[in-house]
Structure 1
Amino acid sequence: MGKLSDKFFLRLLVDMLATFVMVRLVYYRFYKKTELFLTFFGFNMVIFLISYLLNRVDMTMGAAFGLFAVFSMLRFRTEGINTKDMTYLFLVIAMGLVTAVSKGSWDELGVINLIIIVTTVLLDGNILTKKEVFHQIDYDNLENIKPENREYLLEDLKLRTGISVHRVDIISIDMLRDSARIHAFYYA
């Protein structure tokens, strides 16, 4: 069995630094959640190691991407995960794959990972677009959910919640309880 080269450790360092920046400095900053840290780092590391080791044998980029797809789908078959978390998981898996199988030097890999990170910050932060979020609310004034009273509804929601709601989606109406389930959208 041959020993691991300096190339392996440089790529591993680039991958771990890029993953740390993506998970700890980007994902955590936006969402303040730590429960998926093990998943993000674990999947990234496993994909990196398997892809790097399989890349030492004759393997095409298509086969590596297929392996990446199989591993990324395993997680989603066992538990529900929201779209944002799934996107970050996909990104850290992709970073591990690219870092492991690319023929570029360590500095080129750093730039590629930096492009992924910067693009993520621009798209997920409030830099290029406003981040719209919603709260699900059980609303008790059915008169205000009529289309002609939409402004009254928005003003009532702002008064009651303190949130500057700019639009609502009516999810369901319960005529027996005189309430409606709505999604109140606002910019974070």
Structure 2
Amino acid sequence: MDFLNIPFFDDDFYKLSFLFAINIVFLTLIIRWLYYSVTGNKDYVFTYYLIGIIVFFLCFTLKKYKLDIGLALGLFAIFGIIRYRTDTLAIKDMTYLFVVIGVSIMNAFVNKKMSYFEVIFGNVVIVAAIVIIEKVWHLKHQIHKDIVYENIENIKPENYDLLKADLENRTGLVINKLTIGKIDFLKDSAVIRIFHYTTES
């Protein structure tokens, strides 16, 4: 049964539903369980879910036109360079965006040459890799801050230890390293970039 030569229902609906369920399950593991629990940043949870869902349906729809792998990779590249004008994504946020898009494209482009077990295995490997890196290894993340420092006498190379101790005392941070940027002798100040580790939980 159709209307204007467009069928109301076909057998691909079952495949769409099953693949969408797989996609949502693994997106939830990646976004809600891993990304949010590690970063505590809820700003991108909504964005990642919507991008993952839209990419999945877009790719599944385009697959009906039997596109080749070159176009699939082109779509991946286009979505992969998404930037927000109002806010620059951090490296970790951009990586999770890359993962969300990649997983959604992989799940949408399943065909007769790829079994369901293969696509589920691919999803499991991706989630497992994130779990190992984020939850098992507990890698420290180095961040930096720029500080305007007024005690210009301490920026001399021979006073490095005094400068580091003074900054640690003022900021309460354990500084890994620091670099001296712009120096303003008129105002007796300098811009100092400090680097310190933070353990995300």
Determine whether 1:171 maps to 2:181: yes
Distance in structure 2 (CA, Å) of the matches to 1:38 and 1:125:
23
SS at 2:25 equivalent: helix
Given the alignment, which residue of 113, 116, 129 partners 2:123? Answer: 113
Distance in structure 1 (CA, Å) of the matches to 2:122 and 2:48:
19
Which runs of 5 or more residues in structure 1 are unaligned? none
Residue 8 of structure 1, CA deviation: 1.8
SS at 1:91 equivalent: helix
Higher CA-based Rg: 2
Deviations 1:21-60 (A, max 9, x none): 2111222122221122222111111111111122122211
Deviations 1:95-149 (A, max 9, x none): 1001111343334323212322333344456817432112222222222222222
Given the alignment, which residue of 49, 55, 65 partners 2:57? Answer: 49
State the superposition RMSD in angstroms: 2.3
Determine whether 1:76 maps to 2:86: no
Mapping for residues 114-129 of structure 1, pairs under 5 Å: 114-123=124-133, 127=137, 129=139
Determine whether 1:138 maps to 2:145: no
Give the AA of the match of 1:11: L
Distance in structure 2 (CA, Å) of the matches to 1:180 and 1:30:
35
Q: Which position in structure 1 is the counterpart of 2:97?
A: 89
Distance in structure 2 (CA, Å) of the matches to 1:125 and 1:131:
13
Once superposed, which parts of structure 1, at least 4 consecutive aligned residues long, lie more than 4 Å away? Answer: 121-126
Which runs of 5 or more residues in structure 2 are unaligned? 1-6
Q: Which position in structure 1 is the counterpart of 2:3?
A: none
Q: Which position in structure 2 is the counterpart of 1:33?
A: 41
Q: Is the 8 A contact 1:10 1:106 kept in 2?
A: no
Normalised TM-score (structure 2): 0.81
Normalised TM-score (structure 1): 0.86
Aligned length: 187
Between the two proteins, what is the percent identity of the paired residues?
30
Residue 168 of structure 1, CA deviation: 0.8
Q: Is the 8 A contact 2:149 2:189 kept in 1?
A: yes
SS at 1:19 equivalent: helix
Residue 155 of structure 1, CA deviation: 1.5
Q: Is the 8 A contact 2:36 2:45 kept in 1?
A: no
